[in-house]
Amino acid sequence: MSMRNRTVVREFILLGIPETEGLETILLLLFSSLYVWTLLGNALILTAILSSSRLHTPMYFFLGNLSVFDLGFSSTTAPKMLVYLSGQSRRISLEGCVSQLFFYHFLGCTECFLYTVMAYDRFVAICHPLRYTVIMSHRVCSVLATGTWMGGCVHAIILTSLTFQLAYCGSNEVGYYFCDIPAVLSLACGDTSLAQRVSFTNVGILSLICFGLILVSYTRIGIAISKMRSAEGRQRALSTCSAHITAILCAYGPVIIIYLQPHPSALLGAIVQILNNLVTPMLNPLIYSLRNKDVKSALRNVFPKKSFARENK
């Protein structure tokens, strides 16, 4: 039987961020600012990478993918949240809820894969510098990038199908600020055990596997750096990895807190989700590229030099 025929509830009501009644105006101003800076920062990074042939390298290719991810991931939940914080309707259609859940997990899984690929790229650059251009050829980079997005899509299709093949025929009030699996499954009329088990396995174990691969890459990188005789070489190698390590900590921290706690606080869960959805995508351009001389040079060729005069002082 199709989802349409089995589902009585045709729309949901998002109850919003727990324990924040009366703070809507403050949160609207704060989250609007974060969202605008996220869009602006990542758009600038994409502009720089696309406009400069000097940035057409594997590292910046994956940074461009990360900027696309940040634009999409923040836009999955932020617009609807800003709408109801501004006093408009909290209602979201069933189709809108399905789309929100799908893209949240599609992009979340893609993020895990992308950070893993970027760690591998740094491993090759530092441990096999003479073979870097051969190993990380254009074809290999394209295959790796395509694989991250396709893997995330398959992951999201499985989770979304299991969640919405269930009947929703009772309450339609989602006790959260967007349609995530735990909040939606609590409203299902049928047996949710399979969807819960698959959700935990796919999200939790997949994240741990990617994190383990990243640790392996950086262990090898650490060993290679410790063997370098030149202090300048060690400093250069560390500087190329520090941004990636910082971004990984920002990305994996919320996942660990939310999904690996047996009974997480609803407010704490919402806070770390917002950090993951809005703050980390806003910080990534600063962490990775806006302090990078090559990126600044590329942006100077696109925008008037006066825009960057103060920044370069």
pLDDT digits (tens, 9 = 90+) for 214-270: 989 988 988 888 888 777 777 777 777 777 777 787 777 666 666 666 666 777 778
pLDDT score of 113 more than 80:
yes
How many CB atoms within 10 Å of residue 67?
24
Q: Where are the domains of the chain?
A: 7-303
**Percent of the chain with pLDDT strictly greater than 90:** 29
Q: What pLDDT is attached to residue 291? A: 58
Looking at per-residue confidence, does 269 or 56 come out higher? 56
* Residue with more model confidence, 201 or 110: 110
Q: pTM of the entire structure?
A: 0.85
CATH of 7-303, one of 3.90.1300.10, 1.20.1070.10, 1.20.120.530, 1.10.3720.10: 1.20.1070.10
Q: Is the dihedral of CA 255, 257, 261, 263 positive or negative?
A: negative
Average pLDDT, the chain: 82
Tell me which residue of 104, 197, 102, 198 sits closest to 157, measured CA to CA.
102
